[in-house]
């Protein structure tokens, strides 16, 4: 083996070792720094998914072994959508007029698509959605500004059985 081949193999081996030293699932923080401070202060026990979505279970399901809805499932949800400062921008708070939508079909923001697939029937959550999993740099004028972190109080009332 030539000296140049040995050097290339040594370099490749060193590069592979350095990759192994880094965490495999490390993700950059998706919340803007100012928003992160507010979120960590208001919801210090919020769980964080690998995508950057955060949530707090306010009311667990009565049956912790029950199924969760899959992509394509029609779900019925009660919710209140708020900006980080508490301003309500949308809501469906009563059982007479809940929101019904399919997961993963472009009917919901990405944060909801992910959260609903983790929730069980009857659960209530606080959901904290980073801008890129909501309306991003475009916002949804006039109620939701650009790069807004959104907070939802939501309850998965029901979903269709497959």
What CATH number is given to the structural domain containing 46?
Answer: 3.10.50.40
pLDDT of residue 29: 84
Average of per-residue pLDDT values in the chain: 87
* Chain segment 46-103, per-residue pLDDT in tens: 999 999 999 999 999 987 778 999 999 999 999 999 999 999 999 998 888 899 999 9
The C-alpha atoms of residue 94 and residue 79 are separated, in whole angstroms, by 9
For residues 34-53, give the mean pLDDT: 96
The percent of residues in the chain predicted with pLDDT above 70, rounded, is 83
Residue 8 located in a structural domain: no
- Full-prediction pTM beyond 0.95? no
Residue 84 located in a structural domain: yes
Radius of gyration of the chain (CA): 21
Residue 57 located in a structural domain: yes
Residue 2 located in a structural domain: no
pLDDT greater at residue 141 or residue 14: 141
Residue 131 located in a structural domain: yes
Residue 68 located in a structural domain: yes
DSSP string, 95-122: TTS-EEEETTTTSS-HHHHHHHTT--TT
Q: Which domain range does residue 58 map to?
A: 28-159
Residue 13 located in a structural domain: no
> How many domains does the chain divide into?
1
Residue 134 located in a structural domain: yes
Catalytic machinery residues: 79, 89-90, 109, 135, 152
């Amino acid at each position: 083996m030539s000296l140049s081949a040995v050097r290339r193999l040594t370099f490749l081996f060193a590069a592979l070792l350095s990759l192994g030293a880094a965490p495999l699932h490390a993700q950059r923080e998706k919340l803007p720094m100012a928003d992160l401070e507010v979120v960590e202060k208001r919801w210090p026990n919020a769980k964080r998914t690998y995508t950057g979505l955060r949530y707090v279970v306010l009311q667990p399901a009565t049956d912790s072994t029950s199924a969760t809805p899959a992509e394509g499932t029609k779900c019925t949800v009660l919710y209140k959508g708020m900006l980080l400062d508490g301003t309500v921008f949308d809501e469906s708070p009563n059982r007479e007029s809940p929101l019904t939508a399919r997961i993963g079909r472009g009917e919901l923001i990405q944060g909801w698509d992910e959260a609903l697939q983790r929730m069980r029937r009857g659960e209530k959550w606080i959901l904290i959605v980073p801008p890129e999993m909501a309306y991003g740099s475009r916002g949804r004028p006039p109620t939701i500004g650009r790069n807004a972190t959104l907070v939802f109080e939501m309850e998965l009332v029901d979903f269709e059985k497959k």
